[in-house]
Structure 1
Amino acid sequence: MTSKAFATSALLLSLNLLFFTVVSSTHVVPCPANAPKFQPKQYPPVIPTCPTDTLKLGVCANLLNDLVHLVVGTPPKTPCCSLLGGLADLEAAVCLCTAIKANILGINLNVPVALSLLLNYCGKNVPHGFQCS
């Protein structure tokens, strides 16, 4: 009978040790209030610029005029689209936005529509969230 009592008490002791180990391991000690907090490194915002001379984009006026007035036939892509060809979408949008805002194109336009028309015609896209400012 002593061996049965010993086995039972050994089992209860093991279960108690296991229970208290599991319970105590879930207790999380909070960090002290004066502990340094992780701060991600802040980078200055990137302001896109136009790598092309915006005065050269005056050739886009004829293309835009043809696109707006829906002239029958396909307007030539070469002068305007070749200037935008090597640029990324954002750079092309910034260049055209600068040209439109400076009124280099010589016509008063609805800026978002004109920008979208020219970029789409030249195989570029208006970047998501881009606003001509």
Structure 2
Amino acid sequence: MAPTNMALFLALNLVLLAAVAHACTPYCPNPTPPIIPPPVVPTPSTGRCSIGTLNLKVCANVLNLVKLKLGVPKNEQCCPLLHGLADLDAAVCLCTAIKANILGINLNVPVDLTLLLNQCGKTCPDDFKCHI
């Protein structure tokens, strides 16, 4: 190849490369940073039940389903009641409902209380005892 042909070939390649590199300029998508939700800060525990224990009657159905090893439907109403509570407060609420026999079923208190709390994403504090 003659030097002029080589120079012409290189110049043409550079022009084409520049055109391809900037081809999407008016249409290039702007990268958007990922949306990071703010961390959920649990409410401080008061050791009291801030919800009406009569509302917890719906938890009996959840406990029966868990004991029978059946799937608990996503739209069940027990866990949303406990959602905003700290672990200790949720345990106090369920213990209060058990003491008042609101759930209307016979329970093995330490085991069933732990099962129900675990189903709702809560843990029973190690030092918590539900005395009936």
1:63 is aligned to 62
- The 3 A distance-change label for structure 1 pair 122 and 77 is farther
Over the aligned positions, Cα root-mean-square deviation in angstroms equals 1.8
Partner of 2:117, secondary structure, is: helix
TM-score under structure 1 normalisation? 0.61
Q: How many residues align?
A: 87
2:111 is aligned to 113
1:4 is aligned to none
CA contact (8 A) 1:63 1:77 kept: no
Q: What 5-or-longer segments of structure 2 have no aligned partner?
A: 1-45
Larger radius of gyration: 1
Residue 80 (structure 2) aligned to one of 75, 79, 82: 82
1:18 is aligned to none
**1:51 to partner: Cα distance:** 0.5
Q: What 5-or-longer segments of structure 1 have no aligned partner?
A: 1-46
1:48 is aligned to 47
**Which 4+ stretches in 1 moved above 6 angstroms?**
none
Counterparts in 2 of 1:1-16, with a 5 A limit? none
Distance 2:74 2:56 in 1: 14
- The 3 A distance-change label for structure 1 pair 75 and 129 is same
